[in-house]
Amino acid sequence: MASESNSFKKRDRLLEIEVAVRKWWEDEDVFRAESRDHIPKPGEKFFSTFPFPYMNGYLHIGHAFSLSKVDFASAYHRLRGANVLLPFGFHCTGMPIKASADKLSREIQQFGNPPVFPAQDNQAPQVQEESSDTPVALPGQFKGKKSKVAAKSGGQIYQWEIMRSFGLTESEIARFQDPYEWLYYFPPLAVEDLKAYGLGCDWRRSFVTTDVNPFFDAFVRWQMRKLKSMGKIVNDCRYTIFSPLDGQPCADHDRATGEGVQPQEYTLIKMEVVKPFPLKLGPLEGKRVFLAAATLRPETMYGQTNAWVLPDGKYGAYEISETDVFILTERSALNLAYQNFSKIPQKPSCLVELTGYDLIGLPLRSPLSVNEIIYALPMSTILTNKGTGIVTSVPSDAPDDYMALHELKTKPDSRAKYGVKDEWVPSDIVPIINIPEFGDKAAEKVCLDLKIQSPNDKDKLVEAKRLTYLKGFTEGTMLVGEFVGRKVQKIKPIIKKKLIESNEAIIYREPEKSVMSRSGDECVVALTDQWYITYGEAEWRKMAEECLSKMNLYSEETRHGFEHTLSWLNQWACSRSFGLGTRIPWDEQFLVESLSDSSLYMAYYTVAHIFHDGDMYKGSKSLIRPEQMNDEVWEYLFCDGPYPKSTNIPSAVLSKMKQEFDYWYPLDLRVSGKDLIQNHLTFFIYNHTALMESRNWPRGIRCNGHIMLNSEKMSKSTGNFRTLRQAMEEFSATATRFSLADAGDGVDDANFVFETANAAILRLMTQFKWMEDVLAAESSLRTGPPSTYADKVFENDMNIAIRLSD
């Protein structure tokens, strides 16, 4: 106990020193960054930034790890004599704050103020588990109030309890129904934490986003108008991941889960139900009824022997048009409704609720099938969270189909269990494709080779598909139909096109994997009329690739990540109808999407202190009014435009702003997590190449991995989590920085080790004691420049160490 108390004593001494040093830094304005009236020589200045964090909670160790890289780099260049600018802003654009405020409002309306929530089901309280943007509860004291963790009941996490975990009183919590309350609450707390951390920041340049800040609002409006005038923002109908609850596209930063997931395209085969209909389908008389099966392999439809349905699966008969009805799952019907395949747009219209049992034995006519009539048969391994829940069976080429059919054929009990008549079960496999090494019945051969015994041998079936599908596509030749003898790879798109043109199939899209929005609903793929930024356009992409080729990326893995993203990134929906932000200037029903307003703000930092000077919101101390910042002014500042005659800003102020930008730009270093390569960081490159002269293109991006705590994933639900404030209270800011520095330097996940921080406390205080002893004996020490041989050896070794470090 004594040693532990002694450890706290040493930590507390560090905390005392930090408070004194921060006051000294503040009094001396140590990190104030001023431009000079000339273009800097190489190495004279160093300008670096960190992606501003989203302000719906406290900063955590994950933020601090990425930030530490830019902080250490800035400190190093400052020590080397460079003029260093490290600014820090706060991002509030987008939907998370609005979604949380609305959720809080709904809880108050439903459960009262203060709310009385349903019973907790004897479930222990938990901390909310979401993304790194989620508000974080502090376990210690905050403003003198005891904080608590967020309550969770039956899977429901209440926003009220999350807010209470911040240490807010009941009367204070109610104010957060107004989303703008969040903007005034969290950024100042982040500044407190970052100052305590010792960030070498010029705080005069801090700002928040959204229209709360009229200067940044004017900046974003100029940027959007500029891109549109260049033809880089267009109106178009495209398929995008979409939140039905929010009524808008759901980009990566709007998602609770599913970041990076894209739309997956299927061919939806229309398998017509042969009349007369059974009694359960009686209400559908007079309409054309289809089992709708989603496939990625339309070229194999010649080999259909039957269809598969999940016996216990829930299906519905959905009106697609006045005449056509599709039988499929509710989830796929919702996706279709948002792709203009529903009698009522965006609303699935279910005429009859069905189960898989109702569909077993239905006779079907299916496009391209060699068999005139095939039947719907039971398959217990169908997934209803992918595709439509209806599966076409091609046992010659699909190992899953072959094994399921083999079981029905060879096990009478399986047929009897589902009431399957013998005549419904196809007797023969239809060979359709010849594949080298596998012949014309590839599925049968590979199942025999791998000794697959049943449809439940899932791992072996995955391997069977791996062996046959790619080889069938790249090397297979057709044995049936009008394309006999031709390569599958060549005729696949032709067959798909013919099926669509003959109205025997449609194109269907759904997310590759489940995507949940921050509002809590499952996303679909929707055909939306939206404003899009034309990323991927050939000439623009070429400029982005040129910029990338000249940048210092510190890692080949990072370079490959950017090259891959540039190879696939296409138009990006830049408008939203829900959330906070800047209005699209020419279409004010929409807001600028949260990643689209944050690709060029590094330039804003160069002049932000002239607007804000410590007031991160409206810039109350500014000599300039927001309305004076018209497009001509921004063009003059950032794009070498002519002197703006349309503004009455004093020429001296304009010249000062121009000098600031010309001195600090280009940006020397951008540090960020590697997960932002696929969106924000690539947008950052694209927008700089579009809007700025090549001399002002960014010079470097350094990416890092996520951070673990003590070799385990950082998780709020398990308690293996630390806010930045918690870490500094526990270890001191200095020891926290030591552990961040030791956590890792590559793009792999890093590891923040508590023992490293504790050891740093002891080593630092040992060093401190040595310094005190030396200073106490200062009067007895030699003075003046190095003079002895030992002095020169020591100085030389120090210079070698500096060179090696550099």
- 233 contacts 586 by C-beta, under 8 angstroms: no
Interstrand relation of 374-378 and 701-704 (parallel, antiparallel or unpaired): unpaired
For 341, what's the count of Cα atoms within 13 Å in the CB-facing half-sphere?
Answer: 21
Q: The tokens 């705590």 sit on which residue? A: 709
- Tens digit of each residue's pLDDT (9 = 90 or more) over 261-284: 889 999 999 999 999 999 999 999
Of the candidate ranges 115-124, 423-432, 513-522, 779-788, the one whose mean pLDDT is the lowest: 115-124
Distances, alpha carbon 199 to alpha carbons 64, 68, 71, in Å: 10, 9, 7
Mean pLDDT, rounded, for 381-398: 94
- Is domain 263-511 in CATH 3.20.20.150, yes or no? no
pLDDT at residue 354 greater than cutoff 90: yes
- Residue 759's pLDDT band (cuts 50, 70, 90): very high
pLDDT at residue 144 greater than cutoff 60: no
Which residues fall within 8 angstroms of residue 736, CB to CB, at 6 or more apart? 64, 197, 724, 727, 728, 757
- Residue 4's pLDDT band (cuts 50, 70, 90): low
Q: Please state the pTM of the whole predicted model.
A: 0.79
- 574 contacts 532 by C-beta, under 8 angstroms: yes
Backbone φ, ψ for residue 717 (5° rounding) = -70, -30
- Residue 717's pLDDT band (cuts 50, 70, 90): confident
pLDDT at residue 123 greater than cutoff 50: no
Backbone φ, ψ for residue 44 (5° rounding) = -75, -35
Mean pLDDT, rounded, for 292-297: 96
pLDDT at residue 117 greater than cutoff 90: no
CA-atom Rg of the chain in angstroms? 32
CA torsion, ordered 431, 433, 434, 440, to nearest 10 deg: -20
Please give the single-letter amino acid code of residue 155: G
Assign 710 to helix, strand or coil.
coil
Residue 5 pLDDT: 56
Residue 219 pLDDT: 97
Residue 249 pLDDT: 87
| 405 C-beta neighbours (distance < 10 Å), count | 23
Mean pLDDT, rounded, for 531-555: 96
pLDDT at residue 130 greater than cutoff 90: no
Q: The tokens 């982005």 sit on which residue? A: 544
- CA–CA separation, 219 and 630 (whole Å): 9
Task: Give DSSP secondary structure letters for 585-653.
Answer: TT-TTSEEPTTTTSSSHHHHHHHHHHH-TT-SSS-TT-SS-GGG--HHHHHHHHS-PPP-TT--S-HHH
SS (H, E, C) 87-130: CCCEECCECHHHHHHHHHHHHHHHHCCCCCCCCCCCCCCCCCCC
Mean pLDDT, rounded, for 634-662: 94
The percentage of residues in the chain with a pLDDT greater than 90, rounded to a whole number, is 77
pLDDT at residue 356 greater than cutoff 70: yes
Bridge partner list, 526: 240
**Residue spans in the chain of domains classed CATH 3.90.740.10:** 263-511
- 604 or 238: which carries more pLDDT confidence? 604
- 663 contacts 39 by C-beta, under 8 angstroms: yes
Which of 132-136, 463-467, 636-640 is predicted most confidently?
Answer: 636-640
pLDDT at residue 653 greater than cutoff 60: yes
- CA–CA separation, 256 and 267 (whole Å): 29
- CA–CA separation, 751 and 689 (whole Å): 35
Assign 450 to helix, strand or coil.
coil
pLDDT at residue 621 greater than cutoff 90: no
Burial class of 716 by CB neighbour count within 10 A (0 to 12, 13 to 18, 19+): buried
Sign of CA dihedral 242, 245, 247, 250: negative
- 697 contacts 666 by C-beta, under 8 angstroms: yes
- Residue 113's pLDDT band (cuts 50, 70, 90): confident
Mean pLDDT, rounded, for 231-244: 92
Rounded to the nearest 10 degrees, the angle between the axes of helix 556-568 and helix 538-549 is 180
pLDDT at residue 142 greater than cutoff 50: no
- 299 contacts 491 by C-beta, under 8 angstroms: yes
Q: What angle do CA 531, 537, 543 make, to 5 degrees?
A: 120
Residue 150 pLDDT: 40
Q: What is the mean pLDDT of the chain?
A: 90
